[in-house]
Amino acid sequence: MSAETEALRLDDADPLPTSRGEFLVPPAPGGRYAEAAYFAGNSLGLQPAAVAGLLREELDDWARLAVEGHTRARRPWVDYHELLREPAARLVGARPHEVVAMNSLTVNLHLMMASFYRPSGRRTRIVIEDAAFPSDSYAVASQAVHHGLDPARTVVRLKPRDGEEHLRTEDVLAFLEREGDTVALVMLGGVNYLTGQLMDMPAITAAGRAAGAVVGWDLAHAAGNVPLRLHDWDVDFAAWCTYKYLNAGPGAVAGCFVHERHVRDASVPKLSGWWGTEPSVRFRMDPGIAPPASADAWQLSNPPILALAPVLASLEIFDRVGMDALRAKSERLTGYLAARLASAGGVRVITPADPAARGAQLSLRVADAGGLVRRLAEAHGVVADAREPDVVRLAPVPLYCTFHDCHRAAEALAALA
C-alpha cells in the first residue's frame, strides 16, 4: 500500500469525519490538486461557509430596519453578544457569566491587567515566557511603565534550560515556589505560538495562586485547539483571539474570561464604558455606573455586529462537533504528520514529542524558513507559515485538515527541505 493510499484509508476510517466541506479552502496552484493543503490555521483559520449568509442577514436587517435593528433585527443587535456567551463558555470550560466576546486580544489583556496587575511592596513582577508573542511582551512592559516601574527589572522572562526548546513545568513551579512572593502576575501563553508547546495550565495556575500571584493566560493558540477548564482550574482571567483555530476572520472580535470570584467582587477596579453597566439602566444615561456581576462589566462599547457574526458561525461548529472529539482527532493527525516527518528525515521538529504537551502544531527548525514556505505553496499547494529567521509552523487543524493533507505536507518537505 502506498503512503498516499494509506493516508486516504485513514481519512475514510477516522471516527470523526472531516468538517472540511463547511469551510472555503483556497485553490492549490499547479493543477495536481484542486485545493490547498492548509496548515496555517494557527495564523488565520479558514472561512466557514455559513459566514456569508449570516453577514448578508445582518446587512439586510440594517438596510430594512436601520436603527430599529437594535431591537427588531432577526438577532437584535442590542444584546447580540449574548448569543455567543454560552457556546464560548463551553469552548473554554467556563460558566456563562464568566465570559464575554469583545475587543481584540491585546486590548482585553490590557483591560485585565488594569484590574488584576496591582503591584505593591515586593510583589511587583510579571512572569511571562521568554518566547512569548511580541504583543504580550509589549503589553506587560507598558503595564510596568504605567505603574512607574522599570520593565527590565519588573518583567521576568522564563527561559528553557540550555540546549532545550521548551519550558519545563517543574522549572516554572520551582521559580514560583522560590520567588513567588515577588510576583504580582503570571501571564503565560497556554500554547506557545512559536514551538507549539502546551503548558500545564492547571499545575502552573495552582502554583501561581499558591504563591499569592494573580494568574492569567493568553489563549490565542489554545482556544479552539485544546480542551480548556478555566473555571475548574481556578484561573483568574484569560483572553483569546478568534481568528486562528476559531476561524472567525482576520482581526475578529476576541474573547475574555474572568473567574466568578472576581465578577462578584464589586471592589475589583476596572476601566469602564457604557456597555459595562447593567442593561436595565444602560439607556437612562446616568453618569454613575452599575456594573453587572458578570464578565460584561469589563465591556466598554456596544458590540460590532458585522464582526461578531463570523464568531457566531464558528462557535456553532465547535458546539456541534465538540472540543474533546476535535482534540482526539488533532492528536491522531499531528501524530501521523510527526511520524511521517521523522521517517523522512531532513527536518528538525522543535515541538514536544509528547502528544499531551503540544497542540495542533508542529514547528520545524530550518534554514530560510520564509523561502521554504513559499516553495511549499508554489510547488506543492501546501500552505504553512514562517516565523523568522528559522521556524516553519504546520498546524493540522482537525476541523478541516486531513491525513491526506498531512501526506502532501510530508512529501513536499521531503522534496524541498
Say if CB 294 and CB 263 are below 8 A apart. Answer: yes
CA distance readout (Å), 380 to 29, 33, 344, 402: 7, 9, 17, 16
Query: Pick from 4, 9, 14: which is nearest to 37 by CA?
Result: 4
The answer to whether 135 is annotated as binding is yes
Please work out, in degrees rounded to the nearest 5, the angle formed at the alpha carbon of residue 103 by the alpha carbons of 97 and 104.
Answer: 115
What's phi and psi for 255, nearest 5 deg?
Answer: -125, 160
Tell which phi-psi region holds residue 10, choosing left (phi > 0), alpha (psi between -120 and 50) or beta. Answer: alpha
What's phi and psi for 18, nearest 5 deg?
Answer: -65, 150
Question: Sign of the CA dihedral 256, 261, 262, 264?
Answer: positive
The answer to whether 218 is annotated as binding is yes
Q: What is the DSSP string of 313-368?
A: HHHHHHHHH-HHHHHHHHHHHHHHHHHHHHHH-S-EE-S-SSGGGB-S-EEEE-SS
The residue written with cell numbers 463570523 in the block is 310
Q: How many CA atoms lie within 13 A of 23 on its CB side?
A: 28
Say if CB 356 and CB 203 are below 8 A apart. Answer: no
Give the list of residues 6+ apart from residue 89 with CB closer than 8 angstroms, or none.
Answer: 95, 96, 98, 99
The answer to whether 136 is annotated as binding is yes
Tell which phi-psi region holds residue 224, choosing left (phi > 0), alpha (psi between -120 and 50) or beta. Answer: left
First-to-last C-alpha distance (Å) of the chain: 25
The answer to whether 274 is annotated as binding is yes
Count CB neighbours of 184 within 10 A.
23
The answer to whether 243 is annotated as binding is yes
Count CB neighbours of 167 within 10 A.
23
The answer to whether 134 is annotated as binding is yes
Q: Which residues are annotated as a binding site for pyridoxal 5'-phosphate?
A: 105-106, 133-136, 218, 221, 243, 274, 302
Q: Which residues are annotated as a binding site?
A: 105-106, 133-136, 218, 221, 243, 274, 302
